[in-house]
Amino acid sequence: MPLADVAETYTDLVTTVFSSAIAAKAWFATAAFALAFVQVTTAARIYGRLRFLSERGPAIARVHRWSGRIAFLCTLPVFFHCVTILGFQTPDARVALHSLVGTFFYGMFAAKVLIVRDRTLPAWALPTAGLTLASMLGVLWFTSSLWYFTNVRFGF
């Protein structure tokens, strides 16, 4: 299959559910952003914050891990369309900021995953990496999905 056809096939695939490839991205990114919120709140509970959340222990750790995995999966179609089809663009400040933060997003994700497993690092490293990653996802959502929902249309 020629490389150019991959883009067409992807667009055909997502438009079986969504009105356009952009709409699909907006909703996948929204799901990832919502799950990032779950990630931050469950991580805070694991660290002994947000005591109004009743449970602390294996269940909340499981929710944290699975919300992270599903959030990561939700970002993959967005990554595919943004990086391999559209590329790095700077036509205006919003798109330039989105491109810049998007370029660093998976690097931060890889670093965070490694920090989780590295017990030699200081205690502040993991929450800092997690919050940075969630903030980056927030910036990406505000500069893409929110823009799409408010400037183009709110719908599938």
Among 78, 129, 136, 140, binds another protein (CB under 8 A): 129
Q: Which 2-61 residues touch another protein, going by CB under 8 A?
A: 3-4, 6-8, 10-11, 19-23
**Shortest Å, Cβ 97 to another protein:** 14
User: Residue 139 is which amino acid?
Assistant: V
- Answer for which of 29, 108, 136, 137 binds another protein (CB under 8 A) is 108
In the bound complex, what is the minimum distance in angstroms from residue 45's beta carbon to another protein?
24
Binding-site size for another protein (CB under 8 A) equals 45
Can you give the binding site for another protein, defined by CB under 8 A?
Answer: 3-4, 6-8, 10-11, 19-23, 80-88, 91, 99, 102-112, 114-115, 118, 120-121, 129, 148, 151-153, 155
